[in-house]
Amino acid sequence: MQGVDTFLQNNKNWASKLKTEDPTYFALMAESQQPELLWIGCSDSRVPAEIVVGAKPGEMFIHRNIANQVIATDFNCLSVIQYAVNVLKVKHIVVCGHYNCGGVRAALSKQNSGLLITNKWLMHIKNVYRLYQEKIDAMPTEDLRVNKLVELNIVEQVHALSHTSIIQESWTKHNSPTLHGWVYDLSDGLINTLITINPDDEIHPIYQYIADES
């Protein structure tokens, strides 16, 4: 296991290598960012967003939390979404979860008395389980039940994203961004698509945003 000093040295080596290859690299990077994509992923250390898709610095705007959730009262996540959509004008937003997610596995169990704050966060995933309990419980093993909930949670988070006024207003004004739900497989490093919602796709009427016409 690497210590903190090792990471600092790795940083120096990385910066030195890039400056050797392109002396203007950091000067240009410091001027602005123009990412095409916002990534909403899990905090799991095994799923580093840029690495698994081969992205370079500046190509992705990133938000991560336990089990890649989009919650209507999470102002941290909503602020990231608003900045990405309204200021950076991203064309795509990806919600990417992963199989064998520890947060999802914990949500399938009783609440842990030692994790009072985390319990509250996981309650949203428990709600997804309750919506699809019959389908999830039909899976023959615990691992398959976890992975089915992983997939369903990703789909629900993409829908939750589409229900925000931020996204719907941007769809109306700019016909963008497109929303994607992806799942990453830790066992082979591959990403699979679960859902795509385009700006002109219909969403349930009770979630539709009525714009202020004044």
> pLDDT per residue over 11-61, tens digit each?
999 999 989 999 988 888 888 889 999 999 999 999 999 999 999 899 999
Average the pLDDT over 93-120 and give the result: 96
DSSP calls for 28-86? HHHH----SEEEEEE--TT--HHHHHTPPTTSEEEEEETT----TT-HHHHHHHHIIII
Structure confidence at residue 141 (pLDDT): 97
User: Active site residue: 98, 105, 124, 180, which one?
Assistant: 98
For the chain, what's the residue count?
214
204 labelled catalytic: no
Query: 102-113, pLDDT tens digit by residue?
Result: 999 999 999 999
Render pLDDT for 185-213 as a digit per residue (tens, 0 to 9): 999 999 999 999 999 999 999 999 887 65
Split at pLDDT 50, 70, 90, the class of 1 is: low
Task: Write down the pLDDT at residue 122.
Answer: 96
Q: Which of 63, 96, 101, 145 is catalytic?
A: 101
Whether the pLDDT of residue 214 is over 70: the answer is no
> Could you tell me the pTM of the whole model?
0.92
Measure the CA–CA gap between 75 and 107, rounded to whole angstroms: 22
34: exposed, middle or buried (Cβ count in 10 Å: 0-12, 13-18, 19+): exposed
Q: Say what the pLDDT of residue 32 is.
A: 81
Instruction: Give yes or no: 145 in active site.
Output: no
Cα–Cα separations (whole angstroms), residue 80 to 39, 40, 131, 166, 175: 10, 9, 28, 11, 19
The DSSP code for 200 is T
Give the pLDDT confidence score for residue 203 in this predicted structure. 94
Query: What average pLDDT does this structure show over 149-171?
Result: 98
Residue 163's Cβ-side half-sphere holds a number of Cα atoms within 13 Å equal to: 14
What is the model's pLDDT at position 53? 96
Stretch 56-84: mean pLDDT: 97
3-state secondary structure of 182: strand
Percent of the chain having pLDDT more than 90? 86
Task: Point out the catalytic residue in the list 22, 46, 143, 185.
Answer: 46
User: If you average pLDDT over residues 182-187, what whole number do you get?
Assistant: 98
- What distance in Å separates the CA atoms of residue 182 and residue 174, rounded to the nearest whole number? 24
Active-site residue, 46 included = yes
pLDDT of residue 24: 87
Residue 127 phi/psi, 5° resolution? Answer: -65, -35
Domains, the chain, ordered by start: 1-31 (no CATH), 35-207 (3.40.1050.10)
DSSP letters along 111-158, please?
Answer: PPTT-HHHHHHHHHHHHHHHHTHHHHHTSSSHHHHHHHHHHHHHHHHH
Q: Which of 44, 63, 124, 159 is catalytic?
A: 44
